[in-house]
Amino acid sequence: MEKDLSELFDRNREWAARTEAARPGFFTSLLSNQTPHYMWIGCSDSRVPANDLVDLLPGELFVHRNVANVVVHSDLNALSVIQYAVDVLGVQHIIVVGHSKCGGVRAAMTNQRAGLVDNWLRHVQDVRDANEDFLKGLHASLQVDALVELNVLEGARNVCRTTVVTDAWQRGQTVVVHGWVYGLNNGLLEDLRITADSADEVSAVYQAAHAAVISRWQARSEAIRVGGQG
């Protein structure tokens, strides 16, 4: 165990040396206040490194992560991070990002028990239950990734409904909320087209994005049914 931890310190020193050599003065520049334009709300999954996926340096992306990238109004942790991002840092974009083959979403979809986290994943199961007929109508191989996208839409809508974001919009502050998914199979991000920058458009934007997700996954399921690749 001590050897494994020593390796991490060795890697840290090598990384710091490489970074400073490539960008002299980089670390001293971080001593000033952070001024990120973006906030990323993503999954805790170790395969989804936020900064790396969008090729941003430390200080350029404000990050909050939890199991299955859930955003709910009772989570004071997430709400506090959003409040700090909007009110103190002045981020202009909040992006809720899910990813394909998410283990948390899979557990929620299949009622797989994992312990205390089951209570957290109840939020994802609420999304599943609200879309039960649609999900059951899909080919089994598509259900988890379809729920991943629906969960992102729900999270993005919930961000829009927080007092933090609605208050910011009321005072004319620029805050744009987005919903994306990341493909573990190809390393690419996809925009789910739920993009809102005012309270008035949240409902319409959500409905349009939700309809698009439903249509796309139903088409893939039908392609599999008739012998295509989906």
Domains of the chain: 1-32 (no CATH), 33-225 (3.40.1050.10)
Give the count of beta carbons closer than 10 Å to the beta carbon of residue 117.
15
What's the confidence (pLDDT) of residue 200?
96
5-64 pLDDT tens trace = 888 899 999 999 998 999 899 888 888 767 899 999 999 999 999 999 999 988 899 999
CA pseudo-torsion sign 9, 14, 15, 16: positive
Has 43 been annotated as catalytic? yes
Catalytic: 45? yes
**Residue of 47, 122, 216, 225 marked catalytic:** 47
Q: Is 102 a catalytic residue?
A: yes
Looking at residue 50, what is its pLDDT? 95
Question: How much is the mean pLDDT over the chain?
Answer: 94
33 vs 185, more confident: 185
Q: Which string of DSSP letters, residue by residue, matches 96-157?
A: EEEETT-HHHHHHHHT---STHHHHTHHHHHHHHHTHHHHHTS-GGGHHHHHHHHHHHHHHH
Sign of CA dihedral 97, 103, 106, 108: negative
Point out the catalytic residue in the list 11, 13, 37, 43: 43
Q: What is the structure's pLDDT at 35?
A: 86
Global pTM reads: 0.92
Residue 227 is given by DSSP the state T
Angle between helices 163-170 and 143-161 (to 10 degrees): 50
pLDDT reading at 2 higher than 80: no
The single residue of 64, 93, 102, 160 carrying the catalytic annotation is 102
Nearest to 82 by CA among 37, 124, 49, 40: 40
Q: pLDDT of 75-112, one tens digit each? A: 999 999 999 999 999 999 999 999 999 999 999 999 99
Residue type, 49: P
Q: 47 an active-site residue?
A: yes
pLDDT at 3: 67
